[in-house]
Structure 1
């Protein structure tokens, strides 16, 4: 999980250089393994001295966007897409924002009795029936995540009969007045079970990054509990926060509100 905290003491020039270089890497303009322009070339491009450029490169190196140093020319590192928890948006929207092509492979959609923990989180009676969706999510046709989502009955029923490999679950829920607007996230690591391994192409027991999410609608009602398991080499999570009263982050944009992350157990 990547957590970035804003600082008001860094040079605006170094922040501008850092933001521009990071954008080029994230968008694939500069691909993994590509050598960066020299410090002198970057100084000419941004009209600055070596100090801000070196600070920008040091920050990118710390974040893993570039590798090298101590006499070795910097090159672009392998970038793992980072999902921000500061905004509430779908996997599809996130993937497209990263310049990736999202995909879905639905494994099952069925009514079933909820496990005790899931029923409790959704504020349902013990043994209540939920609609459970299991699907694999893809980026550029590569499976990176398996998701198990349980919906309260009146919400889940709008998904029955839909082609969920192509339809947007979040859009369908919103269209029926069940838009998800708030969530609580818990992030940890788990071992892949046999279904995870088969769906994601990893050995059973491999480490996966797990995100558990309890989502609520505009009325504050808990309507979905989901557990997403990611191949750790393909995803990280980012939280951007700020001290009270601070209005900008490192990239010069509006700071996100702090996010509470606590156990769902």
Structure 2
């Protein structure tokens, strides 16, 4: 078997298991088929099966096994805290079809709090986007994206219903090197509740992100609000490579 076919088989097996967990064929606590059973089912060696299982473990969906059969830990799609910035890329990696419905795109003047996040002057021009994001056609998240005009000009020229803004910026040479994220919970306001089709006050998982160039210049400030049963976040760290995760109490933020 060639390397390319092995990769395709590994992705195919991972998609099958991920879908079976999502649809309830395997419930939380259920054991998964053994490597031998999956090898027979997909007519492959154990290598692609192990790759697929490793993918699902990294996503937080199944246990490590450690000599025993892996069991289902969760059916909620997970995103690594250090993963790609793009919602579209994350969905596709998880076997989910991403979508979007843009509510508005605007060039406006930055209020003081937003200007501070982007490290620009008050009233400097910014480009802001408000979109509903979909997972397999269903509402999943609302996003508020904000860019300094030097970056946002690419967004103004882009059909934001067409796909990934992140990919469009990369394709136009925008340097998005790293990001910081702050995660907390907020209640859905009327605007978000209407889009997400939930009652006002429904708890949402909020992820506020600042993205930077290699030199540390902010190029994006975003506020993403997920339905908690649509997404969760995982973080993997080791003693040798600790992750700079911190817990803070901070009442100052941009709404």
TM normalised by structure 1 equals: 0.69
Higher radius of gyration, 1 or 2: 1
Matched, 1:79 2:75: yes
Superposed CA RMSD in Å reads: 3.4
How far, CA to CA, are the matches of 2:26 and 2:180 in structure 1? 40
Larger RCO (CA under 8 A, 6+ residues apart) = 1
How many matched pairs? 213
Query: In structure 1, what is the equivalent of residue 133 of structure 2?
Result: 137
Cα offset for 1:181?
A: 1.8
Q: Could you report, residue by residue, the CA deviation over 1:199-220 in whole angstroms, capped at 9, with x for unpaired residues? A: 1111111110000000012332
Query: In structure 1, what is the equivalent of residue 5 of structure 2?
Result: none
Query: In structure 1, what is the equivalent of residue 217 of structure 2?
Result: 221
Do the aligned partners of 2:144 and 2:224 also contact (CA within 8 Å) in 1? yes
Cα offset for 1:24?
A: 7.1
Extract structure 1 runs of 4+ deviating beyond 4 A.
22-26, 41-46, 63-66, 75-78, 261-264
Query: In structure 2, what is the equivalent of residue 27 of structure 1?
Result: 18
Task: Summarize the Cα distance change of 1:130–1:43 in structure 2 as closer, same or farther, 3 Å threshold.
Answer: closer
Query: In structure 2, what is the equivalent of residue 90 of structure 1?
Result: 86
Do the aligned partners of 1:88 and 1:181 also contact (CA within 8 Å) in 2? no
How far, CA to CA, are the matches of 2:219 and 2:73 in structure 1? 40
Query: In structure 2, what is the equivalent of residue 113 of structure 1?
Result: 109
Q: How does 1:183-202 map to 2 (within 5 A)?
A: 183-202=179-198
Task: Summarize the Cα distance change of 1:159–1:95 in structure 2 as closer, same or farther, 3 Å threshold.
Answer: same
Higher normalized strand content (fraction of residues): 1
Unaligned stretches of 5+ residues in structure 2: 1-12, 39-56, 64-70
Structure 1 residue matching 2:140: 3-state secondary structure: strand
Do the aligned partners of 1:31 and 1:76 also contact (CA within 8 Å) in 2? no
Task: Summarize the Cα distance change of 1:122–1:45 in structure 2 as closer, same or farther, 3 Å threshold.
Answer: same
